[in-house]
Structure 1
Amino acid sequence: MKYLFFILFTICSVSITNAQLFTKEKVQNLQTVDKARLSWGYYLGFNNLDFKFDYKDNLGDIQTERTIGFNVGLIGNLRINDHFDLRLEPGLVISQRNLNYPLANFENFEDEISDSDLLREVKSTYVYFPLLLKISTKRVNNIKPFILTGLSTAINLSSNEKNPDDNSAGEFRMKKNMQFYELGLGIDFYLDRFKFTPSIRGVFALNDEIIRDKDPNSPWTSNIESMQTRGFFINFTVQ
């Protein structure tokens, strides 16, 4: 994630430097697009989510196999002034993470251990509601870098929170309602007919996400102090 932030930051810096090297100012596209009090748009993108685990005992780490997920949503933008905007970005976030458990967790497991016991496929479909503050630099010709920060809440439609079955029946359960902190950056590109914006941001869960099994000695949940989502989104926005 650090490398991705560094790459986008470098792109921002190079873009600004290149723009300032020109002796002539370019004709600015969409000169009044940022003056509207309210504006709308949509985004498509990708996500790569992980879990951060804290353990009670040192029995070995649960390895998370991450996959590429999908984001889609709408944007409502409230202009505060030339440098600050408040944004609501409701959307849908779909992801999958595969958890590979260490054998040490199953030392006291009475049944025979199979490969399926060591693997849990965690599929998540979040209805996502981020409220973000966009802090922009001064526009340089047809680009304007910015940073984003804010909080979001999400409803995990795949949580299985109310399911009476747990991991003993092959059901990995998570909490339905989640809260996240977000921090990111991006660049507005002003094209002839619309504003195109690539951005990247990290998402960090603020609350524990796991639902414990009924058995207090469960090899799947008993050693987990907390399990929190973390990862990054790459979104492409059109306004």
Structure 2
Amino acid sequence: MKHLFIKILSAAVILIGNQLQAQTFNNLFRTRDRQENREGMDLEKFSYGFYLAGNNFDYKMVLNPAYGMDGNKNLVESKSTYSFGAGLIGKMRLNYYLDLRIEPGLHFVQRDLTFNTFDKVNAAFPGGFILPDGSVTPNIDPPTDVDQKRMIKSTYVDVPILLEVHGDRWYNSRPYAAVGVNYLMNLQSNETSEGDNSVNTFRTTTHNFGWSAEIGIQFYFSRFKLTPAIRGTFFTNNELVQDKATTPPYWTPAISTMQTRAFMFVLKFE
């Protein structure tokens, strides 16, 4: 009797195990019978949403060998900081695989520049910097932190237009990639300021252009779509506004070109 009971119990365990295994396989790999969230969302001609972004902005610089380099050593250093941004999403469906997106946003950015150019410039002009009118500006020696460091704060109004291509939807997720162009207005550029680095004002361009590339995965929930994505944005124009001719070449003459590059982790809600 005992052996018969063990056999019946073993058969029951095997049967239940097989049933559980089949059900698990169904839930994980057979999408045909599973309910899909927001099924009609991808068929809408227009849709909208918003996004939040964690940013890392930095400068890509080409230095002037005359003032910005000492052999192979760079005398101007850029330090990026982490910041945040937010914006809106507007989407137009082109076909099953393509969407056109416009995602205007606002990014609050800070970057730190350090100029270690003073020794080289002072050596090039040992008697002081000669101004166009023939007068002489004494060298800054030794420089202070106020002279060497510039904290550059920027507020970018970013208007990217992106072409998105996505794969087939697998249950409640769908991968995609996007590429596009950007117009970016820097509200804190100081471009029109009368002051320059002689009075601790670093100037950059107000109107900028760039391009972006992005990859991510769209997750569909019952009430909304969540998209975590990684985006890179790269400026194509030189953002540097040179100092006045009467300002010693400690600062902007050490830089030939300066362009923003940014990497963002984006969370989109639609």
For the superposition of Structure 1 and Structure 2, which TM-score range results when normalised by the shorter chain?
A: 0.7 to 0.9
Kindly indicate whether residue 38 of structure 2 is the aligned counterpart of residue 30 of structure 1.
yes
**Structure 1 stretches of 5 or more lacking a match?**
1-18
Letter in 2 for 1:86: L
Does the 8 Å CA contact 1:91/1:127 hold for their aligned counterparts?
A: yes
Letter in 2 for 1:159: S
Q: CA RMSD in A?
A: 1.9
Counterpart position of 1:47? 55
CA distance in 1, matches of 2:26, 2:97: 19
Name the SS of the counterpart of 1:116 in structure 2. Answer: helix
Letter in 2 for 1:225: S
Kindly indicate whether residue 96 of structure 2 is the aligned counterpart of residue 82 of structure 1.
yes
Q: Percent identity, please.
A: 35
Kindly indicate whether residue 245 of structure 2 is the aligned counterpart of residue 237 of structure 1.
no
Kindly indicate whether residue 129 of structure 2 is the aligned counterpart of residue 122 of structure 1.
no
Name the SS of the counterpart of 2:156 in structure 1. Answer: strand
The TM-score, its normalising length taken from structure 2, stands at: 0.78
Counterpart position of 1:188? 218
Counterpart position of 2:16? none
Counterpart position of 2:6? none
Counterpart position of 1:111? 140
Letter in 1 for 2:231: R
| Cα separation, partners in 2 of 1:140 and 1:106, compared to 1, 3 Å | same
Bigger mean CA offset, 117-126 vs 103-112: 103-112
Map Cα deviations across residues 200-228 of structure 1 (whole Å, 9 max, x no partner).
11111100001000137521111211000
Counterpart position of 2:131? none
Name the SS of the counterpart of 1:22 in structure 2. Answer: helix
Of structures 1 and 2, the larger Rg is shown by 2
The TM-score, its normalising length taken from structure 1, stands at: 0.88
Does the 8 Å CA contact 1:39/1:77 hold for their aligned counterparts?
A: yes
Name the SS of the counterpart of 2:222 in structure 1. Answer: coil
| Cα separation, partners in 2 of 1:220 and 1:163, compared to 1, 3 Å | same
How much has 1:155 moved relative to structure 2? 0.8
Name the SS of the counterpart of 2:29 in structure 1. Answer: coil
Matches within 5 A, 1:1-239: 22-25=28-31, 26-57=34-65, 58-59=69-70, 60-61=73-74, 62-103=76-117, 104=119, 106-107=121-122, 108=125, 110-112=139-141, 113-215=143-245, 217-239=248-270
Name the SS of the counterpart of 2:253 in structure 1. Answer: coil
**Structure 2 stretches of 5 or more lacking a match?**
1-24, 129-138
Counterpart position of 1:3? none
Name the SS of the counterpart of 1:234 in structure 2. Answer: strand
| Cα separation, partners in 2 of 1:67 and 1:105, compared to 1, 3 Å | farther
CA distance in 2, matches of 1:156, 1:20: 53
